[in-house]
């Protein structure tokens, strides 16, 4: 029984670690895509690039969490 309990704990810890790694990776991808495509879209809409504000990592993480709650 102790072996089964250890295996469940390892599985739970692995799941939690994987969840946070995926969250961090998704936030990084969102930040890179927004900061790469944002200025191009901003310029195409006739706006000045000096008004464009890049997305920080914290903001991209909050955006990922928001969409996760909204669409999951």
Q: What is the DSSP string of 1-68?
A: -HHHHHHHHHHHHHHHHHHHHHHHHHHHHHHHHHHHHHHHHHHHTT--GGG--PPPHHHHHHHHHHHH
Residue environment code for 1-24, b if the CB has 16+ CB neighbours within 10 A, otherwise e: eeeeeeeeeeeeeeeeeeeeeeee
What's the pLDDT at 35? Answer: 95
pLDDT band at 20 (very low <50, low <70, confident <90, very high): very high
Reported as a single tens digit per residue, the pLDDT across 48-72 is: 888 889 999 999 999 999 999 999 7
Q: Model-level pTM greater than 0.75? A: yes
């Amino acid at each position: 029984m102790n072996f089964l309990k250890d295996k469940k704990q390892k599985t739970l810890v692995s799941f939690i670690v994987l969840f946070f790694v995926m969250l961090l990776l998704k936030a990084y991808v969102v930040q890179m895509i927004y900061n790469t495509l944002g200025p191009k879209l901003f310029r195409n809409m006739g706006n000045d690039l000096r008004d464009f504000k890049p997305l920080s990592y914290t903001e991209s993480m909050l955006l990922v969490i928001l969409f996760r709650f909204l669409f999951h």
